[in-house]
């Protein structure tokens, strides 16, 4: 009953005209950034961040969350119509979505993607609503040692679950942690690695790092692809899926929702991994796996539901523990902190208006997106007719504007350019840069938690092992590392034997 | 490592650097106008009249939206533009 009364409070906030208007703006902007190659949800949120300064914190987070799940919807449109994933989570949708387009079934593919995203988005918000309060209640018992252990575990799990080499992921997380240490030491007040630049006293901001790594570097890598795209415009009448397609999609949507939610809770690039896992599962359990890759509707329904469900799952660690589970929630955390709000276990008690207003706005946002995406898809795809040579200069100008206006500082813009160049080379060398961004935002939290723990124990490191929750989590960290070393050794031995 | 796009990358970095240097000196509108004009007309060789129109429209429009409507301060040159 308490949940229902809280939800009623949330809806009383989310259904005010002002909140609705900003949720709509966020969803619309998110859909557009999701469709445009080179501008993902992270860049979109970073660019919109300065605009939220004059707003109240509830409206700010509602709008930014709208950008996040709007981008998930938008990304599927370009994947299905043009085989271009607007953002990384839509890669799997390209395979069967585009094959359906080639068979003249673009409309039903878009409809199934939108319906699946809507169902997944709505169901997973129920999960978020039910799970976040009990997790937050447990987290209230956490002290600095537990937080230190949880953050270490989170970073390590991220490195294991991201695509690509674990070593590269750990290296990126480490670089992020080092960058996150720049600024005034929170315990002693000494300035570290600031090179006498006063702007660095507050540390390296997550916005310039994220815009540099994800926005500017993407433009550098894709600026040469200047041609206009050939776009298919589906008509509204063509959007209705057949009875057979609806029946085939029902179970994959439900499975995708569950997978997305569970993967979303775990740190990592949740929405990307969840769509991969969902596609692999659908193909594995299908009676006709040979249809996958040739226009199987299950290959669209599953991954699209999973990536939308993962966005809600990813908010659980952020709202309940104050710990972002990926790069996008990390930027959302920065946004809340700018407004003087610290997400975490106390948020539900201290600011129920923000927590429940946000939850309710996610229900509203999913309805807004369904209305936006189905009838207006033909209008949105016109944006992709603009040659990239005209688009990228404006995206760069938006990056410049977004980074500068965050702190009114050109130092931040220089940092963004520097990270843009770094991101360009890292991506050429096949490094995933998401753990770097997460490292930047987690470093101050992790450092503070470790040093507070050591202050509590008088410098005795065994405090991390003596406390049961922290000890268990660190044992998990050790087990993961040992397992990785052993399996690597085993693989090497098998490889040698095969040779 | 394929560095076939290194030239355009270097041009982007140089132009972004120049824009950052000029931002607080020449003001937001003049800097963004010049940046977009150079990229569109000189780098991408688009028609000059269209480049001027798009660059001017974006520089003035975004300044009005961000600075005037949303009240997020953007740099203005010492001459007031």
Residue B25 lies in a domain: yes
> What is the mean pLDDT of the segment spanning A204-208?
85
Helix H or strand E segment including B48: helix B48-63
Distance separating alpha carbons of residues A188 and A381, to the nearest angstrom: 54
The count of structural domains within chain A is 1
Residue A492 lies in a domain: no
Residue A499: band (very low, low, confident or very high) from pLDDT cuts 50, 70, 90:
very low
Does B66 contact A405 at a Cβ distance shorter than 8 Å? yes
Please check whether residue B13 is in contact with residue A421, taking contact to mean a CB–CB distance below 8 angstroms. yes
Check: complex ipTM more than 0.90: yes
Domain residues for the domain of B42 are 6-69
Is residue A159 scored above 90 in pLDDT? no
Does A50 contact B72 at a Cβ distance shorter than 8 Å? yes
Whether the CB of B68 is below 8 Å from some CB of chain A: the reply is no
Q: Which range among A441-455, A484-498, B30-44, B46-60 shows the weakest confidence by mean pLDDT?
A: A484-498
Does A429 contact B1 at a Cβ distance shorter than 8 Å? yes
Does B8 contact A224 at a Cβ distance shorter than 8 Å? yes
pLDDT of residue A283: 84
> What is the mean pLDDT of the segment spanning A251-269?
82
Q: Which range among A237-241, A283-287, A289-293, A405-409 shows the weakest confidence by mean pLDDT?
A: A237-241
Q: CA dist A411 to A408, A417, B23, Å? A: 9, 10, 11
Residue A302 lies in a domain: yes
Distance separating alpha carbons of residues A428 and A188, to the nearest angstrom: 40
Averaged pLDDT of chain B? 91
Distance separating alpha carbons of residues B6 and B9, to the nearest angstrom: 5
Residue B64 lies in a domain: yes
Does A221 contact B2 at a Cβ distance shorter than 8 Å? no
pLDDT of residue A37: 64
Please check whether residue A64 is in contact with residue A335, taking contact to mean a CB–CB distance below 8 angstroms. yes
Beta-carbon contacts below 8 Å between A and B: 93
Distance separating alpha carbons of residues B2 and A163, to the nearest angstrom: 21
> What is the mean pLDDT of the segment spanning A169-175?
88
Distance from CA of A395 to the nearest CA of B (A): 10
Whether the CB of B44 is below 8 Å from some CB of chain A: the reply is yes
Distance separating alpha carbons of residues A211 and A196, to the nearest angstrom: 24
Q: Is the dihedral of CA A201, A206, A209, A211 positive or negative?
A: negative
Is residue A497 scored above 50 in pLDDT? no
Q: Which residues pair with A191 in a beta bridge?
A: A184
Nearest to A437 by CA among A270, A213, A226, A245: A213
Those of residues 399-418 in A touching chain B at CB distance below 8 A are 400-401, 404-405, 408, 410, 413-414, 417
Please check whether residue A351 is in contact with residue A341, taking contact to mean a CB–CB distance below 8 angstroms. yes
**pLDDT > 70 fraction of chain B, expressed in percent and rounded:** 100
Distance separating alpha carbons of residues B53 and B61, to the nearest angstrom: 12
Question: pLDDT, tens digit, for every residue of A9-26?
Answer: 888 888 889 888 988 889
Question: pLDDT, tens digit, for every residue of A299-316?
Answer: 899 998 988 888 888 888
Residue A397 lies in a domain: yes
Is residue A354 scored above 70 in pLDDT? yes
First-residue to last-residue Cα distance in chain A: 64
Q: Which residues pair with A192 in a beta bridge?
A: A183
pLDDT of residue B51: 95
Residue with tokens 């018992």: A141
Residue B41: band (very low, low, confident or very high) from pLDDT cuts 50, 70, 90:
very high
pLDDT of residue A441: 78
Distance from CA of B25 to the nearest CA of A (A): 11
| More confident: A160 or A387 | A387
pLDDT of residue A236: 60
pLDDT of residue A492: 66
Residue A53: band (very low, low, confident or very high) from pLDDT cuts 50, 70, 90:
confident
> What is the mean pLDDT of the segment spanning A458-463?
91
Distance from CA of B79 to the nearest CA of A (A): 19
Is residue A403 scored above 50 in pLDDT? yes
pLDDT of residue B49: 95
Please check whether residue A281 is in contact with residue A260, taking contact to mean a CB–CB distance below 8 angstroms. no
Is residue A498 scored above 70 in pLDDT? no
Is residue A268 scored above 90 in pLDDT? no
| More confident: A229 or A68 | A68
Residue B1 lies in a domain: no
Is residue B52 scored above 80 in pLDDT? yes
Give the mutation candidate from A50, A393, A394, A417 for the B interface (greatest B CB count, under 10 A). Answer: A393
Nearest to A298 by CA among A264, A269, A275: A275
Highest mean pLDDT among A144-158, A195-209, B17-31 belongs to B17-31
Residue B74 lies in a domain: no
Is residue A199 scored above 50 in pLDDT? yes
Highest mean pLDDT among A54-63, A349-358, A460-469 belongs to A460-469
pLDDT of residue A81: 78
Residue A430 lies in a domain: yes
CA A495 to chain centre: 36
Residue B43 lies in a domain: yes
pLDDT of residue B40: 94
Give the mutation candidate from A55, A212, A397 for the B interface (greatest B CB count, under 10 A). Answer: A397
Domain residues for the domain of A221 are 2-466
Distance from CA of A394 to the nearest CA of B (A): 7
A481: Cα within 13 Å, side-chain hemisphere: 11
- Angle between the N-to-C axes of helices A144-161 and A434-457, in degrees from 0 to 180, rounded to the nearest 10: 160
Distance separating alpha carbons of residues A101 and A80, to the nearest angstrom: 7
pLDDT of residue A494: 62
pLDDT of residue A234: 62
Those of residues 44-103 in A touching chain B at CB distance below 8 A are 50-51, 53-54
Does A54 contact B71 at a Cβ distance shorter than 8 Å? yes
pLDDT of residue A373: 76
> What is the mean pLDDT of the segment spanning A418-423?
95
Give chain A as a 3 state SS string.
CHHHHHHHHHHHHHCCHHHHHHHHHHHHHHHHHHHCCCCCHHHHHHHHHHHHHHCCHHHHHHHHHHHHHHHHHHHHHHHHHHCCCCCHHHHHHHHHHHHHHHCCCHHHHHHHHHHHHHHHHHHHHHHHHHHHHHHHHHHCCCCHHHHHHHHHHHHHHHHHHCCCCHHHHHHHHHHHHHHHCCEECCCCCCEECCCCCHHHHHCCCHHHHHHHHHHHHHHHHHCCCCCCCCCCCCCHHHHCCCHHHHHHHHHHHHHHHHHHHHHHHCCCCHHHHHHHHHHHHHHHHCCCHHHCCCCCCHHHHHHHHHHHHHHHHCHHHHHHHCCCCCHHHHHHHHHHHHCCCCCCCCHHHHCHHHHHHHHHHHHHHHHHHHHHHHHHHHHHHHHHHCCHHHHHHHHHHHHHHHHHHHHCCHHHHHHHHHHHHHHHHHHHCCCCCHHHHHHHHHHHHHHHHHHHHHHHHCCCCCHHHHCHHHHHHHHHHHHHHHHHHHHHHHHHHHHHHHC
pLDDT of residue A423: 93
Residue A491: band (very low, low, confident or very high) from pLDDT cuts 50, 70, 90:
low
Distance separating alpha carbons of residues A93 and A109, to the nearest angstrom: 10
pLDDT of residue A255: 93
Structure tokens at A86: 């607007």
Helix (H, G, I), strand (E, B) or coil at B1: coil
| More confident: A49 or A236 | A49
Does A428 contact B2 at a Cβ distance shorter than 8 Å? yes
DSSP letter (8 states) at residue B68: I
CA A259 to chain centre: 15
Chain A positions in Cβ-Cβ contact with residue B47 (cut-off 8 Å): none
Residue B56 lies in a domain: yes
Residue B78 lies in a domain: no
Whether the CB of A390 is below 8 Å from some CB of chain B: the reply is yes
**Integer Rg of chain A from CA:** 22
Q: How many CB atoms sit inside 10 A of residue A441's CB?
A: 25
Distance separating alpha carbons of residues B36 and B50, to the nearest angstrom: 11
CB-based contacts of A424, cutoff 8 Å, min separation 6 = A217, A220, A221, B9
Chain A positions in Cβ-Cβ contact with residue B32 (cut-off 8 Å): 397, 400-401
Is residue B24 scored above 90 in pLDDT? yes
Does B39 contact A396 at a Cβ distance shorter than 8 Å? yes
The count of structural domains within chain B is 1
pLDDT of residue B23: 94
Whether the CB of A224 is below 8 Å from some CB of chain B: the reply is yes
Angle in degrees, CA A264, A343, A153, rounded to 5: 50
Structure tokens at A337: 């902190």
């Amino acid at each position: 009953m308490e949940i229902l009364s809280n939800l009623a409070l949330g809806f009383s906030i989310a259904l005010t005209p002002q909140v609705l208007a900003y949720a709509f703006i966020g969803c619309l902007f998110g859909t557009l950034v999701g469709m445009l190659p080179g501008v993902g949800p992270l860049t979109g949120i970073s660019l919109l961040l300065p605009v939220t300064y004059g707003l109240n914190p509830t409206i700010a987070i509602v709008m930014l969350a709208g950008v996040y799940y709007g981008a998930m919807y938008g990304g599927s449109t370009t994947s299905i119509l043009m085989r271009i994933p607007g953002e990384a989570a839509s890669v799997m949708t390209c395979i069967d979505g585009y094959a359906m387009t080639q068979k003249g079934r673009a409309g039903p593919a878009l409809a199934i993607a939108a319906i699946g995203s809507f169902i997944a988005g709505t169901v997973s918000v129920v999960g978020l609503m039910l799970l976040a309060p009990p997790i937050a209640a447990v987290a209230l018992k956490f002290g600095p040692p537990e937080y230190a252990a949880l953050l270490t575990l989170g970073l390590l799990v991220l490195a294991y679950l991201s695509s690509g080499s674990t070593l590269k992921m750990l290296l990126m997380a480490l670089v992020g942690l080092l960058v996150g240490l720049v600024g005034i030491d929170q315990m002693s007040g000494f300035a570290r690695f600031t090179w006498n630049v006063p702007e660095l006293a507050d540390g390296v901001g997550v916005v310039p790092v994220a815009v540099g790594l994800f926005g500017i570097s993407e433009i550098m890598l894709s600026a040469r692809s200047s041609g206009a795209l050939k776009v298919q415009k589906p008509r509204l009448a063509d959007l209705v899926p057949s009875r057979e397609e609806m029946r085939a999609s029902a179970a994959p949507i439900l499975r995708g929702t569950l997978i997305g939610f569970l993967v979303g809770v775990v740190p990592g690039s949740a929405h990307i991994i969840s769509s991969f896992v969902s596609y692999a599962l659908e193909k594995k359990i299908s009676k006709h796996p040979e249809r996958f890759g040739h226009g199987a509707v299950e290959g669209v329904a599953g991954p699209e539901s999973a990536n939308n469900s993962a966005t809600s799952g990813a908010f659980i660690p952020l709202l309940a523990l104050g710990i972002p589970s990926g790069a996008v929630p990390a930027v959302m955390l920065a946004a809340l902190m700018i407004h003087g709000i610290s997400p975490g276990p106390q948020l539900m008690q201290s600011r129920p208006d923000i927590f429940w207003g946000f939850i309710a706005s996610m229900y509203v946002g999913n309805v807004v997106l369904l209305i936006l995406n189905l009838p207006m898809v033909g209008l949105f795809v016109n944006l992709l007719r603009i040659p990239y040579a005209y688009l990228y200069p404006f995206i760069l100008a938006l990056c410049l504007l977004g980074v500068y206006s965050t702190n009114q500082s050109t130092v931040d813009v220089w940092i963004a350019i520097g990270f843009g160049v770094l991101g360009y080379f890292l991506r050429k060398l096949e490094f995933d840069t998401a753990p770097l961004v997460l490292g930047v935002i987690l470093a101050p939290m992790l450092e503070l938690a470790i040093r507070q723990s050591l202050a509590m124990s008088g410098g005795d490191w065994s405090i991390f092992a003596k406390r049961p929750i922290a000890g268990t989590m660190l044992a998990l960290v050790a087990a993961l590392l040992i397992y990785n070393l052993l399996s690597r050794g085993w693989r090497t031995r098998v490889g040698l034997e095969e040779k | 490592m394929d560095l076939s796009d290194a030239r355009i990358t270097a041009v982007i970095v140089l132009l972004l650097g120049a824009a950052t240097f000029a931002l607080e000196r020449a003001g937001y509108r003049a800097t963004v106008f010049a940046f977009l004009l150079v990229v569109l007309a000189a780098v991408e060789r688009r028609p000059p009249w269209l480049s001027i129109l798009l660059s001017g429209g974006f520089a003035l429009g975004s300044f009005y939206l961000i600075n005037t409507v949303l009240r997020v301060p953007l740099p203005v040159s010492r001459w007031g533009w």
